[in-house]
Amino acid sequence: MNLQKEFEDFHQKIRLGTYDENQTLREKRDLLIDELKDKLKDEKVPNTTKKLTFTKLDQGSYAMNTGIKPKDDDYDIDVGVIFDVTNEEYESHKLKKLVFDKLNLNYKRTVKYNRPCITVEYADGYHVDLAIYSKNNEDIHIAWGKENSKQENKLWYKSEPKKLTKWVADVSSDADKYQQYRRCIRFIKKWKEKHFSSDGNNAPASIGLTIQARNYFYYHKDNYLDTLIYIAERMKSDFNLNPESRKMNIDVRLPVEPRKNVYYKMSEIQQDNFYEKIEALVESLKDARNEDSRNKACKILRKVFGDEFPLSDDDDITECSKSMPFVTTGNSA
């Protein structure tokens, strides 16, 4: 059983990218970028008369077109801000702090200084992640480190954001295959949303899942389930046992600079937990495939992906429930 129709319906429910949604997000991002431009208009590159200017770069799931509708309406949009400076002209944390200070003047939002980016959170439920880059004559570097990180951890890191987006898009030149890949990413993100707490670094970074899925994508015509099983099994084999701690470890490298482990934030216990969940994912996907009853297969996939995964059309709850010997009503007083 491959449940292709159910996956298609599911995808319609979870995908981010209707015209309105994109429009709103774009507007909000552009407002912020325009505001930043305005606030920086009198800034100069230190010790020069050169104006401080930047260009913006779409990145993240928005640019890759792999976004899902967020839980609790917490929409996010990633944008790169590439300053026309060299690493020598501006210290990374000083430039990052400048952006932080300029944006942190509005009481209606919260601005956070994170390691890879500046996050601007709005009360009405969305946030913009701004990654700060130096253009460096097209040798782009990212301003890395937290505000209070030690000096040696605050630096310009070589980074290839454009190349990463392109690498993901290059998964296939065939439109159908590319579409299947992007949809599978969305399914995997829904799995992550359901099975990991949003506290701390419990959940694996989405870019990591996107990269692993890209590494192991193998097109199965009209069959998302087989593609997902194929990917998940191989994701599982990316883990290695640490014989000392008896915990599973994972190290997946960014395919572009700075080529570091995309799961660097996760502790060993969290990595081990990640492994257990992948193991469970593989088991359930296979159970669903082996299930004879469409209803039951859908119910298994609901446990994997959440209640937005449709029940099978064969499952007419309302009619069937009336003739059940017992059934829950939801009444209370």
Closest Cα to residue 182, out of 14, 3, 50, 40? 14
Strands 126-134 and 75-83, bridge-based pairing: parallel
Among 165, 206, 284, 312, binds another protein (CB under 8 A): 284
DSSP-based three-state secondary structure for 13: helix
> What residues from 250 to 279 belong to the interface with another protein (CB under 8 A)?
267, 269-270, 273, 276, 279
Find the binding residues for another protein in span 199-218 (CB under 8 A). 199-200, 202
Q: Which residue lies nearer to another protein by CB, 91 or 291?
A: 291
Which of the stretches 47-55, 141-149, 195-203, 232-240 binds another protein when contact is defined by CB under 8 A?
A: 195-203
Q: Which is nearer to another protein, 241 or 327 (CB)?
A: 327
Q: What is the DSSP string of 46-61?
A: TTS--B--EEEEE-HH
Among 194, 220, 265, 294, binds another protein (CB under 8 A): 194
Among 151, 197, 237, 318, binds another protein (CB under 8 A): 197
- 153: contact with another protein by CB under 8 A: no
Cα 168 to Cα 181: distance, rounded to the nearest angstrom: 10
Query: Is the CB of 97 or the CB of 192 nearer to another protein?
Result: 192
7 touches 186 (CB < 8 A): no
Specify the stretch interacting with another protein by CB under 8 A; choose among 8-16, 109-117, 171-179, 189-197: 189-197
CA distance 295 to 6: 11
Number of residues that bind another protein (CB under 8 A): 31
Sites for another protein among residues 70-129 (CB under 8 A): none
Q: How far is the CB of 167 from another protein (least distance, A)?
A: 31
Q: How far is the CB of 172 from another protein (least distance, A)?
A: 30
- Return the DSSP state at 151: G
Contact 28, 126 (CB under 8 A): yes
Spatial CA neighbour of 4 closest among 304, 303, 239, 228: 228
What is the distance between the alpha carbons of residues 54 and 136, in angstroms, rounded to a whole number? Answer: 12
CA distances from 163 to 69, 167, 181, 235, 251 (A): 26, 6, 18, 23, 21
C-alpha distances out from residue 286 to 136, 140, 280, Å = 49, 43, 10
Query: Please, which residues have CB within 8 angstroms of residue 132's CB and are 6 or more apart in sequence?
Result: 81, 83, 92, 95, 96, 99, 117, 118, 142, 143
Q: Which is nearer to another protein, 179 or 198 (CB)?
A: 198
Beta-ladder partners of 57: 80
Rounded least distance, CB 303 to another protein, Å: 5
Pick the stretch among 106-114, 155-163, 229-237, 319-327 that binds another protein (CB under 8 A).
319-327
Contact in structure between 239 and 271 (CB atoms under 8 Å)? yes
Task: Single out the residue of 196, 216, 289, 315 in contact with another protein (rule: CB under 8 A).
Answer: 196
CB of residue 325 vs another protein: minimum separation in angstroms? 4
Q: Restricting to residues 287-316, which ones interact with another protein according to CB under 8 A?
A: 287, 300, 303-304
- Of the candidate residues 11, 195, 214, 236, the single one contacting another protein (CB under 8 A): 195
The site for another protein (CB under 8 A) is made up of 194-200, 202, 267, 269-270, 273, 276, 279-281, 283-284, 287, 300, 303-304, 324-332
